[in-house]
Amino acid sequence: MSKNSLKLELTGVEELLLSIEKMGGDINQAAEKAILASAKPFHQELKLAIKKHRRTGLTEATLHEPTKVQWVGNRCSLQVGFNLKAGGLPALFLEYGTPRMKARPFIRPAINRSRKNMKAIQQKTLSELLKEITP
């Protein structure tokens, strides 16, 4: 996990996942749907925030849509943000500043605004999946 990552420890989600499993649902698929759903608001926040700093659109174009969930053991993660190798490095310069430019944070505020809703979105997604498979 990179140092610029958002780590979210959730409670109550495990119980929902176990209920989904007991009802015959695929808990990995359920977890993936929940994490993808909760990443969308953060992605939207970044998309709106980078538009304010638009000059050429190159940095904005490196903001990738969160689609690939990675699994390590029983933990899943999802990368959301700018592809630094493909031209997203200026996003970090905007966020933290340079010796000649003051910082104009937009990533950390987007994290703070989105974090509040992530747990609720994940729980809602899992609850809806549980309703779908409940006889």
Based on the number of CB atoms within 10 Å of its own CB, is 35 exposed (0-12), middle (13-18) or buried (19 or more)? Answer: buried
Output the pLDDT for position 1: 43
* Mean pLDDT along residues 84-109: 93
Give percent of the chain with pLDDT exceeding 90.
Answer: 26
Mean pLDDT value of segment 85-93 = 92
- Among residues 112, 128, 119, the alpha carbon closest in space to that of 45 is found at 112
Q: Is the pLDDT of residue 16 over 80?
A: no
Does the pLDDT value for residue 18 go beyond 90?
no
Contact in structure between 57 and 51 (CB atoms under 8 Å): no
Q: What is the tens place of the pLDDT at every residue in 37-47?
A: 989 988 999 99
pLDDT in tens, 33-83: 888 998 998 899 999 989 888 888 889 999 988 888 988 887 888 888 999
What is the residue-averaged pLDDT of the chain? 82
Which tokens hold the place of 23? 């009802």
What pLDDT is stored for residue 12 in this prediction? 58
Taking the C-alpha atoms of residue 4 and residue 7, their distance in angstroms, rounded to an integer, is 10
Range with lowest mean pLDDT among 9-23, 31-45, 75-89? 9-23
pLDDT score for 96: 95
40 within 8 A of 66, measured Cβ to Cβ: yes
The pTM of the full predicted model, rounded to 2 decimals, is 0.72
User: How far apart are the C-alpha atoms of 133 and 24, rounded to whole Å?
Assistant: 8
